[in-house]
Structure 1
Amino acid sequence: MDSPKEGTSTSFVGAGILAALAASLCCITPVLALLGGISGIAATFSWLEPFRPYLVGASVLVLGFAWYQKLKPQPAGQMDCACDEDEKPSFLQSKAFLGIVTAIAAVLLAFPYYSGAFFPKESPSTALAAPAATATRANLYIAGMTCSGCEHSVNNALRQTPGVVEANSSYSTGIAQVTYDKSKVDLSRLAQNVATETGYKVTKFEEVNQK
């Protein structure tokens, strides 16, 4: 039977991994939407983004305390106790398990920094530049983007639209800059595709004056 101390340790480990997962959901969901071919769910957990710094801090603190509990020296009286000689801790109470959980948490917390690797880099139309007479640049103002994973999701939705030559979005400004062939697609279609494929709302769009 697990001791109360062991049960508490397992609870800390579980809380740490859950906090790391919650902190990364807003960035993981767009990738899952792409890989699963599920349209419109990329923005599902964007509401968690304001809490991300707190969730990251909670994960680090909880796992740090779990390591402290695991590594701190035991009082001499407990080390000499004969009742512990034949009792080995379960794998869930081992340093190896805690190390695995810590590594998983680190991968989850760092996800926003490498999520772009899961998305195509170019538009199918990139090789076919739009004629000068129909090449148009525009800005789409998008609500709900909160991390680099959101940017990649929006870029992918735009780049997969026939007629789009280039698309680059920024979650910090909430703007997606698009170059497209207006003889093949219009701005309202681009805005609709973003909403349908990602779930983010395009609040405004406008052509950019080209000199």
Structure 2
Amino acid sequence: MKTKQFRNKQLVGAGVLTAFAASLCCITPVLALLGGISGVAATFSWMEPFRPYFISLTIALLAYVWYQKLKQRAPIDCDCETNSKPNFMQTKIFLGLITAFTLLMLTFPNYAKIFNATPKKLLVPSILQDNTKTQTAEFKITGMTCEACTLHVAKEVNKVAGILDLQVSYVNANALVKFDKSKTTLQEVQKAIKLTGYKLTETKIKQ
């Protein structure tokens, strides 16, 4: 019995770890946002292709543990264990809490953007912009995997003076930036993007 309980604890622990690993690529950008740490956001972006496997493994581990917990216990021949009370970590309540925490970890990329406390920059209306001084460029970026990644890029770019409009997409792997050429340059925007740790692969000037 003790061996079985120990094995179930190991499986629960493994499930939590795989859930954490599944969302690590999006947890890091949020930590970078909250801590104001640049250059670490893309540290675990290489794990994104493995996310479906981590999720499947997590669900399989938890399903097995729940099956073991809910299935009919074999009858006991003696009274040696009838009066023993399981500790909290062996109860269904504890397993339920662990399961809920694990599901929160697995779905983290879906609500990561709520951790962005950075106020939106007040953009200059188009009718007030001097088009002779403005320039729009597309920056191709690799390594972004979720909304948290785009928020981190947007935060760094918005620190650059003269940003008039900004759209960052992890789906399109790019950032469209409109800026005032009299206040900043392409190189300054590129520098801001590189500070996040993501890889800037190409810059295109838009007409």
Deviation track 1:96-139 (CA, whole Å, cap 9, x = no partner) reads: 1111111111111111111112223522x425764332222210
The answer to whether the 8 A contact 1:30-1:41 is kept is yes
> Is residue 2:162 matched to residue 1:202?
no
Report the Cα distance in structure 2 between the residues aligned to 1:93 and 1:86, rounded to whole angstroms: 15
- Any gaps of 5 or more consecutive residues in structure 1? none
- Secondary structure of the 1:84 match is coil
Residue identity (%): 42
Q: Compute the TM-score of the two structures, normalised by the length of structure 1.
A: 0.90
Report the Cα distance in structure 1 between the residues aligned to 2:91 and 2:190, rounded to whole angstroms: 51
- For residue 142 of structure 1, report the CA deviation from its aligned partner: 0.7
The answer to whether the 8 A contact 1:134-1:181 is kept is yes
Deviation track 1:19-52 (CA, whole Å, cap 9, x = no partner) reads: 0000001001001011112111000111110100
The 10-residue stretch of structure 1 (100-109 or 147-156) with the greater mean CA deviation from structure 2: 147-156
The answer to whether the 8 A contact 1:166-1:178 is kept is yes
- For residue 172 of structure 1, report the CA deviation from its aligned partner: 2.4
Report the Cα distance in structure 2 between the residues aligned to 1:71 and 1:126, rounded to whole angstroms: 57
Report the Cα distance in structure 1 between the residues aligned to 2:181 and 2:205, rounded to whole angstroms: 11
Report the Cα distance in structure 2 between the residues aligned to 1:121 and 1:56, rounded to whole angstroms: 33
- Any gaps of 5 or more consecutive residues in structure 2? none
Structure 1 111/130 Cα, relative in aligned 2: closer, same or farther at 3 Å?
farther
Partner of 2:110: 113
Report the Cα distance in structure 1 between the residues aligned to 2:148 and 2:168, rounded to whole angstroms: 11
Match of 1:96 among 93, 98, 104: 93
The answer to whether the 8 A contact 1:158-1:194 is kept is yes
Structure 1 65/182 Cα, relative in aligned 2: closer, same or farther at 3 Å?
same
Report the Cα distance in structure 2 between the residues aligned to 1:95 and 1:162, rounded to whole angstroms: 55
- Secondary structure of the 1:27 match is helix
The answer to whether the 8 A contact 1:46-1:144 is kept is yes
The 10-residue stretch of structure 1 (7-16 or 142-151) with the greater mean CA deviation from structure 2: 142-151
Q: Compute the TM-score of the two structures, normalised by the length of structure 2.
A: 0.91
> Is residue 2:49 matched to residue 1:61?
no
> Which residue identity is paired with 1:105?
T
Report the Cα distance in structure 2 between the residues aligned to 1:173 and 1:92, rounded to whole angstroms: 45
Report the Cα distance in structure 1 between the residues aligned to 2:192 and 2:160, rounded to whole angstroms: 8
